[in-house]
């Protein structure tokens, strides 16, 4: 018997289809061993990792050992990256395999040809790849386990530090500070609408901007009453070339335009890979195999014609990329749609279009620039237009501009036919005040691009890094409402000039990564006391060291020793000398008591403090409301927090109070809590007793609609309730499913008890599925 071990059940299921009855395919469910939790899991004398079988993998290992005894040959078929190589190595050691009957196989795609080719070309476990993974794991454990306790003692219990994660947080914090310090600079841009002799519209922009309002007004006054003509028409050919096939990072960035987060993109890509639809999804190579190039050629000629074909092989700019690997592509380019659900299908089609487009002809364009001027004016208006002469790769793959790189001044479109010397009719000239904008905040996709640009992390680390900094609550995805400001505007129309001041919305942001109060304080502490660890260049250098170890050009233990010999003494020094960090900010004084009001981080998170800790009278504390932050809250807002809980009156002879808590503002009545609805205008400072009673009664009505029936004779009571996914049984803290098409209101106690006893799977609150792969 042949035993094939892979790391996921889905992968096992797909591979099994391509192998005969002589092969048994089993899953290890990711890593079977991990660093021991005791004593850091590292021998501190040698920096050797100490591994132990994970508690949730003991049954898996037991089953694999029994299968190994029956097998003539064991095939270790985990993924072809460093993590996959480490999984194979741990399996070899833990299952006590023998070299003579163990073979390591790798494949870039899960297809019949790829599997058979891999079996015909087995290799040994690449210990260099294993050592690179071990070096990363040990170094990250050293950093986390030595730096995190300092954060507990100097800032707040429960915090943690990570080598790559802390650097990612630094990027987001620095961008936020940059935006806060940014001072918008006004300029005055002038645009005009003209009509040609065929009465077709020509939208144009003046070829210069004005720094002063008076100069913009002066120009428009000089243009008043003037006649304009087409002074120049320039047409020149242009082209657009397709982008390279997807790497991990470029896939994550493009999939963001489908609304997918980085982690969701990787989950969907993993599912497509394990189902055999795409090649391996963790890669930094843009190469395509000869087989893929030939397949693309056949599809392009067959669907679009020979003129659309332009076979290319791309090379990556990333010097550490593994060119032996392939880009992410469909395993079969003749399959245009694939996937088990709508999300998988969308991602697959994106990969299919990008791969095919990379082998298609350039798009040929004709770009036209039209100058409109008057001989008495030194300035001129410019209109730009673009016509697609041959669509080429644009036939399958349109290029979308990034949100943070969109050119608001771009006015290119299809232009009407105009002639040099032709007189045009002025419809209107608009001079408008425009303000410079700060650099855009990061979203997940642009953060991946920045990390890759700096050489921080590798394809397998982007998604977990971004997930981790959000789970640790150092960073959150937030929306920002727009602010308002006045802008000056000048309009020349019908030979009359009008000046006005209008209100403009600005500063709105949607789904951007922003630092939390804790994130800002932790980042400030780490950059001050661990500047080397938080240095972008150092972090990139460590990644290069791992690459060198993987290539067999550097000794992993020497690399770790060199790092730790410098790192550990510095940790001890910071323990002794660093002061507590609270991010404390003095807001002002309480007008009644005269005591200082501070915003700072406390033991339980961000808070407001009134008074000094060393005063005889203990200071008062108040928690922040949702959306408030210690670096931006005002004295007026802080003082209102000390009014909480706020008594509104009595209802049903019980107090009604309003307060704020972990999940936002709420009304409290008879020991029950009713959330305020800010979207409906609810605010703690303005809510009335009448509105609070409305919220109480609305919640009661919702609860009544939820209830179907109860069996009060049971202990604990059994209830049948209406839930989000239909009726279910509730007894105590446990929930039980009711089969579909069952009339819940007609169930008897006997029926319910039978369903409870037969229920193998209890319904529990939905949570995000954790990947078993580490």
Output phi, psi for 25, to 5 deg: -115, 125
**Spatial separation of the C-alpha atoms in residues 641 and 692, rounded to whole Å:** 19
Integer Cα distance of 287 and 314 in angstroms: 6
What is the sign of the dihedral through the CA atoms of 288, 289, 292 and 293?
Answer: positive
Residue 485 φ/ψ, nearest 5 degrees? -150, 160
CB 513 within 8 A of CB 441: yes
* Helix 462-471 vs helix 248-255: crossing angle, to nearest 10: 50
- Where in the sequence numbering do the catalytic residues fall? 280
Two tokens, residue 119: 């079996």
Distances (CA, A) of 40 to 144, 547, 588, 682, 724: 10, 25, 45, 49, 44
What DSSP letter does each residue of 618-656 carry, written as one string? Answer: PPEEEEPPTT--TTT--HHHHHHHTTPSEEEEEETTEEE
- Contact status, residue 475 vs residue 172, Cβ threshold 8 Å: yes
List all residues 6 or more positions away from 412 whose beta carbon is below 8 Å from its beta carbon.
367, 384, 385, 386
> Phi/psi of residue 682, each to 5°?
-75, 130
Residues 6+ apart with CB under 8 A from 531: none
E strands present in 532-611: 585-589, 596-602, 605-610
In the DSSP assignment, the letter for residue 56 is G
Contact by Cβ (8 Å): 85, 133: yes
The candidate with the shortest Cα–Cα distance to 34, out of 160, 164, 137, 161, is 137
CB 404 within 8 A of CB 257: no
Cβ-based neighbour number of residue 306 at 10 Å: 9
E strand or H helix that includes residue 237: strand 228-240
Show Cβ contacts of residue 31 under 8 Å, excluding neighbours closer than 6 positions. Answer: 7, 54, 57, 83, 86, 87, 90, 773, 774
Q: Which residue shows structure tokens 């070299």?
A: 99
Angle CA 131–67–49, to nearest 5: 20
Q: From CA 501, how far away is CA 490, in angstroms rounded?
A: 9
Which residue in 608, 567, 520, 625 sits closest to 155, CA to CA? 520
List all residues 6 or more positions away from 98 whose beta carbon is below 8 Å from its beta carbon: none
The Cα–Cα gap between 576 and 286 comes to 49
């Amino acid at each position: 018997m042949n035993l094939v071990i892979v790391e996921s059940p889905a992968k096992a299921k797909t591979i099994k289809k391509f192998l005969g009855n002589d092969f048994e395919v089993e899953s290890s469910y990711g890593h079977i061993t991990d660093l021991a939790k005791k004593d850091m899991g590292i021998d501190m004398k040698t920096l050797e990792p100490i591994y132990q079988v994970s508690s949730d993998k003991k049954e898996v290992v037991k089953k694999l050992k029994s299968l190994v005894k029956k097998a003539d040959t064991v095939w270790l078929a985990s993924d072809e990256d460093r993590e996959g190589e480490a999984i194979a190595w741990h399996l070899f050691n833990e299952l006590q395999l023998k070299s003579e009957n163990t073979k390591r196989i790798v494949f870039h795609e899960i297809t019949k040809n790829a599997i058979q080719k891999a079996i015909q070309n087995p290799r040994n476990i690449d210990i260099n790849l294993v050592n690179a993974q071990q070096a990363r794991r040990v170094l990250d454990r050293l950093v986390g386990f030595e730096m995190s306790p300092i954060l507990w003692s100097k800032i707040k219990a429960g915090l943690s530090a990570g080598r790559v994660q802390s650097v990612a947080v630094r990027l987001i914090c620095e961008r936020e500070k940059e935006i806060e310090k940014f001072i918008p600079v006004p300029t005055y841009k002038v645009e005009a609408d003209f009509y040609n002799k065929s009465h077709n519209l020509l939208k144009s922009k003046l070829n210069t901007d004005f720094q002063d309002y008076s100069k913009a007004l002066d120009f428009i006054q000089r243009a008043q009453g003037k006649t304009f003509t087409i002074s120049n028409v320039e047409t020149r050919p242009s082209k657009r070339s397709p982008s390279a096939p997807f790497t991990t990072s470029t896939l994550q960035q493009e999939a963001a335009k489908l609304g997918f987060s980085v982690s969701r993109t990787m989950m969907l890509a993993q599912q497509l890979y394990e189902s055999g639809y795409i090649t391996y999804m963790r890669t930094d190579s843009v190469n395509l195999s000869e087989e893929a190039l030939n397949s693309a050629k056949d599809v392009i000629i067959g669907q679009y014609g020979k003129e659309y074909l332009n076979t290319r092989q791309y090379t990556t700019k990333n010097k550490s990329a593994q060119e032996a690997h392939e880009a992410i592509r469909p395993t079969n380019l003749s399959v245009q749609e694939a996937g088990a659900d709508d999300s998988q299908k969308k991602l697959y089609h994106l990969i299919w279009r990008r791969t095919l487009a990379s082998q298609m002809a350039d798009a040929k364009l004709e770009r036209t620039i039209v100058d409109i001027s008057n001989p008495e004016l030194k300035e001129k208006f410019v209109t730009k237009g673009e016509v697609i002469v041959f669509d080429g790769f644009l036939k399958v793959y349109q290029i979308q501009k990034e949100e943070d790189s969109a050119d608001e001044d771009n006015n290119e479109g299809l232009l009407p036919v105009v002639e040099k010397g032709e007189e045009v009719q002025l419809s209107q000239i608009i001079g408008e005040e425009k303000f410079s904008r700060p650099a855009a905040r990061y979203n997940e996709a642009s953060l991946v691009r920045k990390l890759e640009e700096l050489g921080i992390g590798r394809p397998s680390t982007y998604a977990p890094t971004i997930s981790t900094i959000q789970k640790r609550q150092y960073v959150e995805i937030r929306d920002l409402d727009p602010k308002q400001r006045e802008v000056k505007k000048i309009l020349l129309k019908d030979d009359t000039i009008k000046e006005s001041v209008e209100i403009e919305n600005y500063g709105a942001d949607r789904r951007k990564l922003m630092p939390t109060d804790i994130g800002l304080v932790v980042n400030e502490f780490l950059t001050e006391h661990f500047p080397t660890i938080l240095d972008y260049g150092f972090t990139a250098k460590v990644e290069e060291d791992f690459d060198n170890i993987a290539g067999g050009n550097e000794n992993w233990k020497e690399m770790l020793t060199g790092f730790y010999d410098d790192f550990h003494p510095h940790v001890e020094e910071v323990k002794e000398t660093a002061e507590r960090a609270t991010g404390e900010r003095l807001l002002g004084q309480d007008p009644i008591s005269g005591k200082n009001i501070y915003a700072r981080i406390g033991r339980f998170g961000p808070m407001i403090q009134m008074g000094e800790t060393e005063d005889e009278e203990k200071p008062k504390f108040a928690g922040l409301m949702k959306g408030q932050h210690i670096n931006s809250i005002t004295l007026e807002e802080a003082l209102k927090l000390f009014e909480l809980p706020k008594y509104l009156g009595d209802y049903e002879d019980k107090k009604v109070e309003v307060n704020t808590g972990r999940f936002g503002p709420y009304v409290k009545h008879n020991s029950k809590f009713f959330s305020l609805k800010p979207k409906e205008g609810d605010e703690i400072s303005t809510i009335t007793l009448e509105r609070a009673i409305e919220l109480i009664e609305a919640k009661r009505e919702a609860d009544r609609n939820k209830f179907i029936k109860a069996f009060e004779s049971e202990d604990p009571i059994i209830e049948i309730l209406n839930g989000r996914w239909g009726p279910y049984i509730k007894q105590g803290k446990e929930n039980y499913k009711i089969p579909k098409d069952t009339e819940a209101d007609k169930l008897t106690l006997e029926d319910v008890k039978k369903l409870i006893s037969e229920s193998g799977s209890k319904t529990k609150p939905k949570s995000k599925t954790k990947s078993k792969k580490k």
